[in-house]
Amino acid sequence: MGRLAALVLGGFALGAAAQDHIDLNSSGIGLSLPLSTTRTNFVSVFLYTGSTPGPLVPIVGRPVTFTASQGCGTFGGNQSAIVNTGLDGMAYTPAFTSTNIDFLCSISASALGSQGTITNQVAIHVYDPAYTKVAFIGSNYTAGVGEMIFVAGMLQDHYGNGLPSELVTFSSPADCVSGLSPPLEVTTQIAGHTYFNVVAAAGTHQCTIQAAAEESPGVGTLNLTIYDPADVIGTPTVSPLQTVVNQAFSFGIKLTAKGFPLSGIAMGAHMPVSGAGGSLQYQEASTDATGTAYFNGVANAIVGNYSIVLDLPQRPAAMILNVVQSAVAPPPPPPPPLGAITDDIQDMWWAGSDGNGWGMSLIQHGDRIFAQLYVYDANGRPIWYAMPGGTWDSTHTIITGALYSPHGSPYYAYDVSKFSAGASVGTLMLTFRSKDDITLDYTIGGAAGHLFLTRELFGPTTGANGGAHGDMWWAGSTQNGWGVAILEQPPVIFPIWFTYDANGNPTWFVVPVGSFQSSAEYVGSVYKTTSSPWYAFGLGTYDASKLQSTNVGSFSIQFVGDSAALSYTVEGHSGTALLVREPF
């Protein structure tokens, strides 16, 4: 496909007599002009004379010499080309092509002016579309029904440089937002940015906006949680709140709508103006990635019971938190029965929208836990770590175990003799604060971190009770080293295939969207994701906006009791395997 790169040559001198000039500028002011290695690019120029104030007069029939810097590319096979301007003062080069990837160079243009030769040049950025991606500025958004959503995206090359004047197509299910059905085509602006507004559709649900650019292999994804204010429920972290006179206190309110946590939502809290109360006369707070807003105050000197009035989105004074204010601290509540919190923890766990793209599966067999971390290495490639077992503390709320990063052979030509679990690469400690909240502490190599996780909702219910198909599935000892973790929130299942790439390094695929074709056969699309380096490899940070999902094939699994027939076509490779539930 051809692309016309319009460059301006010409100019004027303020308060001076009319004279000829060549000012060479790209359409991206102050930036280099991007040219694709896979397209035929045509460079055009405008040559004119003039002064200000006064008209700009095209210069007709004047030869313009275009020259590409060494290694930049060629005009029809030549490093330079001479083209005469037309009646409109425009000159168009022969086709400009280049085989370099992510290469910075320049193109110059020169012509004979009234006072001698005039020359200027523009920086050229040659890029390969196969290494481009569309990234949203912010990877997650929560909005109420009818709210305007400002969507900002960026088309980037391999190094994160913006690519202007490219076409990006945005799409979303019709019941998600208005304005993207049919898909919206937007041309990137300076620095590769795109901007537009959509409106959240009716109903409470989660959906996505996807962005794709011509020839770019990946699809950018913006995750949306749309909520109806009538569906919003506030759940206090403690109730009633126990405070002590003249002492500081804090509490949290978790906002959900039909089970979906609502992040980035502002809410307010009102204290009584007289009697027992505290310094929190009125305070606003916004919910974090788990949907929880935290409030802080200091109790006054009056003993008594009172209520804190809470404003929910578009519903003032919709909630009451009861407070018991005492002269001395009450005795701590008795600990929960051993195992009460951790008797049903099998599910998919994540760090909320700010951690979108990575997660942890927990498969539970009685008192035993098999944990898998699905994260990204220092280059943003998918990698997994396994904790195949651990030791509980005396309260049965903390489990600690060794982490492993096995290696094997390619999933499409698996050879169990190549499998090596290797030595432990670190430790994982999971602290269950409630049935739905975990703190995760890890050490991997020389890195350590402390993270908060909640159950990831991908179905109408949580993963409690496992479901009929939820379990760790493997192909037996002759295929030891890989498996499929199936999480189930009935009637939806979420398979994650942890295996090895062409070099035998650990990798994983996910089947986030699928359906039961019958009562026993589940069929879906297989996706491979890349993202920013995970915390252990990204200097303690993770950038969910770098998440890219690519459809790489299909997946089918036929359940027959405690067996399952797996069939796949992934990255051009097809295969089958007979799976059974893995004992541990």
Residue 335: the pLDDT is 63
- Cα–Cα dist 229/256, whole Å: 10
Q: Would you identify the CATH topology of the domain 130-227?
A: Immunoglobulin-like (2.60.40)
Class of domain 230-326: mainly beta
Residue 19: the pLDDT is 44
Residue 120: the pLDDT is 76
| pLDDT tens-place string over residues 498-516 | 999 999 999 999 998 888 8
Domains of the chain, by residue range, sit at 2-127, 130-227, 230-326, 347-581
Same fold, 2-127 and 130-227: yes
Given a contact cutoff of 8 angstroms between Cβ atoms, the answer to whether 523 and 514 are in contact is yes
Confidence of residue 12 (pLDDT cuts 50, 70, 90): very low
| pLDDT tens-place string over residues 66-79 | 898 888 888 888 99
Residue 517: the pLDDT is 87
Residue 216: the pLDDT is 80
**Over the chain, what is the mean pLDDT?**
84
3-state secondary structure of 411: helix
Q: Angle at CA 318, nearest 5°, toward 312 and 321?
A: 95
pLDDT > 70? residue 52: no
Confidence of residue 8 (pLDDT cuts 50, 70, 90): very low
Environment class of residue 155 by beta-carbon count within 10 Å: exposed (0-12), middle (13-18) or buried (19+)? buried
**Site of tokens 């990831």:** 456
Structure-token pair, residue 431: 């602290």
pLDDT > 50? residue 24: no
Q: Angle at CA 581, nearest 5°, toward 408 and 381?
A: 35
- Cα–Cα dist 252/262, whole Å: 14
pLDDT > 90? residue 55: no
Given a contact cutoff of 8 angstroms between Cβ atoms, the answer to whether 115 and 20 are in contact is yes
Give CA separation, 366 vs 184, 339, 344, 402, 584, in Å.
Answer: 50, 10, 9, 19, 10
Lowest pLDDT segment from 273-287, 368-382, 435-449, 570-584: 273-287
Q: Angle at CA 153, nearest 5°, toward 103 and 221?
A: 105
Residue 29: the pLDDT is 27
Residue 25: the pLDDT is 37
| pLDDT tens-place string over residues 102-159 | 667 888 888 887 777 878 777 777 777 777 888 887 767 899 999 999 999 888 877 7
Q: What is the CATH number of domain 2-127?
A: 2.60.40.10
Given a contact cutoff of 8 angstroms between Cβ atoms, the answer to whether 493 and 486 are in contact is yes
